């Protein structure tokens, strides 16, 4: 039984490592504003980026559709637009058993929910249909690319020819694609790392004073680092369980 358990944990660790080194996909990042009871719903921000599609939220209270110009359904998913709330420090129940712990929750008037949808070139509209029969439709085609030869805020090199991969569009593409993205921080995009030959020391410049050139062959995202850390932690747990089992035998 222990062998099967250890094997399962090992396979999970391998899966996490493989996910860490798999490339992100093109997605549409949608920031949706809504108030209490979802009376007002707005698509406040939009951008095509690289990332992961949001997992559906069941049971949820709304169905979100991604539609093409002709009404074709490109994507459909369930999401929950819960009543916005702020959690503050509640009274300590262990000190006062009669204290109302729920009083530590304050309901806000509105909030913003971010959802990552799969990217389709033909995507034209986002439609949100609530279980209460409220329906909201947002045009996104022109916002993702209005083709005016100016790279605007909600456009990116993924969705619009107005934006060039080697020009600023407020989104960093850190993959090795032979293009240095100026939106990336120093050291994030490996295409921006340049090596320069070391200077030959002269009489005025000793070897100790020669400039050092640092080259980083690989650069990973924070998501990759998290996955690797989790995988390493799982492997350590497997090793500890195995050692304890050996000692028990």
Q: pLDDT value at position 163? A: 94
Q: pLDDT value at position 10? A: 56
As a whole number of angstroms, the distance between CA 19 and CA 12 comes to 11
DSSP string covering 8-38: HHHHHHHHHHHHHTSPPEEEEEEEEEEEGGG
Say if residue 183's pLDDT is above 80: yes
Query: Which of 48-62, 67-81, 203-217, 230-244 comes out lowest in average pLDDT?
Result: 203-217
pLDDT digits (tens, 9 = 90+) for 129-180: 999 999 999 999 999 999 999 999 999 999 999 999 888 888 888 777 888 9
Greater confidence, 16 or 4? 4
Strand order in the sheet with 110-118: 41-51, 25-35, 110-118
Q: What is the 3-state secondary structure (H, E, C) of 36-57?
A: HHHCCEEEEEEEEEEECCCCCC
The rounded percent of the chain whose pLDDT value lies above 70 is 67
Q: pLDDT value at position 27? A: 97
Q: pLDDT value at position 196? A: 42
The fold of the 25-83+109-172 domain, in CATH, is: Immunoglobulin-like (2.60.40)
Across 43-57, 84-98, 169-183, the highest mean pLDDT is recorded for 43-57
Cβ 79 vs Cβ 55: under 8 Å = no
Indicate whether this model's pTM tops 0.85: no
Q: Considering only CA atoms, which of 52, 51, 20 is closest in space to residue 227?
A: 20
Torsion of CA 229, 232, 238, 243, to 10 degrees: -120
Give the phi and the psi of residue 168 in degrees, each rounded to 5: -70, 130
Q: pLDDT value at position 229? A: 72
Strand partners, 106: 86
- What is the torsional sign of CA 218, 224, 225, 230? negative
Spatial CB neighbours of 100, under 8 Å, sequence gap ≥ 6: 91
Helix axes 222-248, 2-20, angle to 10 degrees: 160
Spatial CB neighbours of 233, under 8 Å, sequence gap ≥ 6: none
Instruction: Please give the average per-residue pLDDT across 13-18, as a whole number.
Output: 50
Greater confidence, 92 or 127? 127
Across 18-22, 75-79, 212-216, the highest mean pLDDT is recorded for 75-79
Cβ 141 vs Cβ 150: under 8 Å = no
Residue ranges of the domains in the chain?
A: 1-23+202-249, 25-83+109-172
pLDDT digits (tens, 9 = 90+) for 185-238: 888 888 888 644 455 555 554 444 444 444 444 444 555 566 667 777 777 877
Q: pLDDT value at position 32? A: 97
As a whole number of angstroms, the distance between CA 154 and CA 143 comes to 6
């Amino acid at each position: 039984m222990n062998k099967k358990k250890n094997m399962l944990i090992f396979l999970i660790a391998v899966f996490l490592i493989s996910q860490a080194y798999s490339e992100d996909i093109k997605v549409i990042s949608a920031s949706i504003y809504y108030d209490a009871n979802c009376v007002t719903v707005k698509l406040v921000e939009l951008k095509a980026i690289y990332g992961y599609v949001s997992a559906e939220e069941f049971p949820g209270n709304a169905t979100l559709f991604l539609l093409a110009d002709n009404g074709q359904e490109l994507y459909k998913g369930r999401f929950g637009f819960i009543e916005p709330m702020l959690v503050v420090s509640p009274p300590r129940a262990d000190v006062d058993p009669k204290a109302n712990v729920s009083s530590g929750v304050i309901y806000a008037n509105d909030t913003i929910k971010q959802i990552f949808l799969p990217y389709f070139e033909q995507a034209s509209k986002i439609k949100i249909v609530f279980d209460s029969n409220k329906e909201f439709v947002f045009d996104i085609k022109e916002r993702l690319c209005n083709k005016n030869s100016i790279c605007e805020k909600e456009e990116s090199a993924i969705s619009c020819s107005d934006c060039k991969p080697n020009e600023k569009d407020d989104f960093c593409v850190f993959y090795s694609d032979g293009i240095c993205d100026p939106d990336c921080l120093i050291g994030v995009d490996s295409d921006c790392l340049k090596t320069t030959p070391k200077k030959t020391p002269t009489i005025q410049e000793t070897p100790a004073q020669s400039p050092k050139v640092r080259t980083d062959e690989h650069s990973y995202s924070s998501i990759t680092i998290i996955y690797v850390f989790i995988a390493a932690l799982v492997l350590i747990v497997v090793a500890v369980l195995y050692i304890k089992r050996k000692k028990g035998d």
